[in-house]
Amino acid sequence: MPDLDDAKDLVNLVHAVNALRAQGKILAYHDRSDGGLLATVAEMAFAGRVGVSLNVDMLVTEGDGISDSRMDVGDSKNWAGQVGARREELTLKALFSEELGVVLQVRTAERSEVMATLREHGLSAHSHFIGKTRPASSEIDAGKNELQIWRDAKAIFKAPLADLHQVWDAVSWKICQQRDNPACADAEHAAAGALADPGLHIYLPQGKGSESNQPLALVESTQDATKSVAYLTPASPALLLSRPRVAVLREQGVNSHVEMAYAFTEAGFEAFDVHMTDLQTGRANLADFKGVVACGGFSYGDTLGAGIGWARSITFNPALADQFKAFFGRTDTFGLGVCNGCQMFAELADIIPGAQDWPRFTTNQSERFEARLSMVEVLESPSLFFAGMAGTRLPIAVAHGEGYANFKYRGNAAKAIAAMRFTDNTGAATEAYPFNPNGSPGGLTAVTTADGRFTAMMPHPERVFRNIQMSWSGLDADAHSPWMQLWHNARRWVG
């Protein structure tokens, strides 16, 4: 089992890593844990989609008691043969030891500065340069990306990343085959390490997402993170003379209300935390609000239809049903339903003007809860939230077990107004798993009304309204993400 001989070493490591991060000198980081160094570097290579060449000479020489004096006299002529078995044993230890440690990727030009920082924190004796990335010369040669291990100037191991990724994913694949939808498990496994997959990307059509006519922007996950990239950011309303009131609705188990309230507040609204019991007891009334948003999470524990139960708490209560119907019927109101709130809005479609063709959202085709960062495309639609964003492709957080747009139970697929759909990493609409996490037809994952006032979507834009909230963005981590445009659009619509 891993142990820690001196706790001060771990404390020093944390300080050193923080110092290097503050200096912008760390490109990637991974702790050495399950599987040891080989698994750690392999996982980094899979994520970066880049070949890696490791050299273990320093790791198998230090402290092994083996002299590296290769004089061409006497027994020294047979040095390699004498120490070979010992070095094989030490190589395995170096590659598979699970003792505490980390792997840092840094720029070659900054090696000396990085080592100086590690030395300042008393870690030079534990720090070694162990290799470098070996990217393929072009996208066409991506299949040549390999994980290589070198020792004594010889390559003792080589394997294509794609093959290693398939092996690495195999156990999870077999578990998913037994636990979930086998077809989806097979599809996800086949996609692991696929050479033709360009990865996540951000595409903002010319002039979209801002008030100015800026250049088209395309940011890909495979691009050099050190390159500066021009991109579009949503502009705030020019002048806020008032802060319209928005009811941030929640029910038992909902957990996205704080992020949603923050996003609305940032855009110039006054957000109010309104629990369903507030409406049921009369402590709050929708007549006092300009907008209403039903948030996501795990309403009713995500059991028995989740959002369906939420909707029934309204439709089975005549006073509440009349209150919601009056709110939806006003021409100066707007509404947004996300995740469980999307399910709830869909079940209230009969009292939402223009929503009669919306589907019911049922169990994902994968037969499992999906929590991942997925690619979506904003479609041309009347939705006030997506004004000016048509054609935009962005990663977005999804977290749902019942997101399948099911027209079998209600709605009309030919007439429902789509506002957003899942795409694969090339930007094409898809029903293929895992790019479409719930299997909805045509990738459908958001619907709206003909007047655009009410929109229901399954993904969570409120969880990624800042770039730093995404596991990958490619944009300024300190800035709002392009998703913030939804709330600015709502504020402009109110006027």
In the chain the domains, ranked by start, together with CATH numbers, are 7-166 (3.90.650.10), 201-494 (3.40.50.880)
Report pLDDT for 472: 83
Give the residue ranges of DSSP H helices in 23-124: 36-48, 57-61, 79-96, 111-120
CA–CA separation, 321 vs 312, rounded Å?
9
Burial class (CB in 10 A: 0-12, 13-18, 19+), 226: exposed
C-alpha–C-alpha distance, residues 50 and 105, integer Å:
12
Is residue 290 within 8 Å of 245, Cβ to Cβ?
A: yes
Q: What is the pLDDT of residue 240?
A: 66
**Can 113 be counted among the known catalytic residues?**
no
**Nearest-angstrom CA–CA distance, 246 and 462:** 15
pLDDT at 138: 56
Determine contact, residues 343/305, Cβ cutoff 8 Å.
yes
Which of 43, 188, 462, 488 is flagged as catalytic? 462
Whether residue 202 contacts residue 474, with contact meaning beta carbons closer than 8 Å, is answered with yes
CA 167 – CA 173 distance, rounded (Å) = 10
Residue 283: what are its φ and ψ, rounded to 5°? -70, -20
Which of 176, 184, 295, 339 is labelled catalytic? 339
- The structure tokens listed for 322 are 């009349």
Block means of pLDDT (10 residues each) for the chain, 495 residues, are: 87 97 95 92 92 92 50 54 78 93 96 96 94 75 82 93 95 96 96 85 70 42 36 46 93 92 97 97 97 89 77 95 97 97 96 97 94 97 97 96 94 97 96 97 98 98 95 88 97 95
**Residues 332/290, Cβ–Cβ less than 8 Å:** yes
Name the residue among 263, 333, 347, 341 with its Cα closest to residue 300: 341
Assess whether 462 carries a catalytic annotation. yes
Given 3-state DSSP classes, what are the helix, strand and coil percentages for the chain, each rounded to the nearest 5?
40, 20, 40
Confidence at residue 163, expressed as pLDDT on a 0 to 100 scale: 95
Give buried/exposed letters for 475-485 (b at 16+ CB in 10 A, else e). Answer: beeeebbbbbb
Cβ atoms 378, 396 nearer than 8 A: no
Sort 316 into a burial class: Cβ within 10 Å, 0-12 / 13-18 / 19+: exposed
**282 Cα distance to chain centroid:** 39
Active site (annotated) includes residue 339: yes
Distance CA 150, CA 171 (A): 28
Cα→Cα distances 109→25, 26, 115, 225, Å = 10, 12, 12, 16
Placement of tokens 């094989």 in the chain:
88
Q: What pTM did the predictor assign?
A: 0.84
| Nearest to 245, CA basis, from 275, 277, 268 | 268
- Residue 71's pLDDT is 52
